[in-house]
Amino acid sequence: MKDLLNFALNYPAFLVVPAVGFVLSLVVLRIKRRYVNEGVLFRRLKVARFPAYRDLNGFDFGCSDVNEATMRQLHRCEFMTSAHNVVLVGGPGTGKTHLATAIGVQAIEHDRSRVRFFSTIELVNALEQEKLTGKPGQLAVRLMYADLVI
């Protein structure tokens, strides 16, 4: 910005005005791109239907038996490229939902992935509803377009 001001002060107006206009248009374009990208991220977070926004920074590994190194590796979402499954097993209150949500949020924010979150009860109810309406398989077809199902 300082260089642009020095340029404007040291050169005639007929050279400065087009340059300032060009720089201003680049700034506006950058803002528009950021706004669009944030809108896409917001929509994907909304579509995922997470119970709450969670990340690894909010998880206390000191009070848990969870292996921090393994979770940080999973948080990088490398398992998605090789299409591996991940199963988090533990009793109530051990942080499974928190950690799974953090992985899903990471997948959306950094890998631009399409994610869908289900609680076990929500998934069973959706499958039962399909069965009752006589249209089994619709949920499975919709989930084929998701990059990650939690």
Spatial separation of the C-alpha atoms in residues 98 and 103, rounded to whole Å = 9
The tally of CA atoms less than 13 A away on the side-chain side of residue 50 is: 24
pLDDT tens-place string over residues 81-133: 888 888 888 888 888 899 989 999 888 888 778 899 988 899 899 889 988 98
Residue matched to tokens 């340029």: 7
Residue type, 6: N
Give me the residues paired with residue 149 across strands.
116
pTM of the model: 0.69
Amino acid identity of residue 96, one-letter, is K
State the CB neighbour count (10 A cutoff) for residue 114. 15
**Model confidence pLDDT, tens digit, residues 31-85:** 555 544 567 778 888 888 888 888 888 888 888 888 889 899 988 888 888 888 8
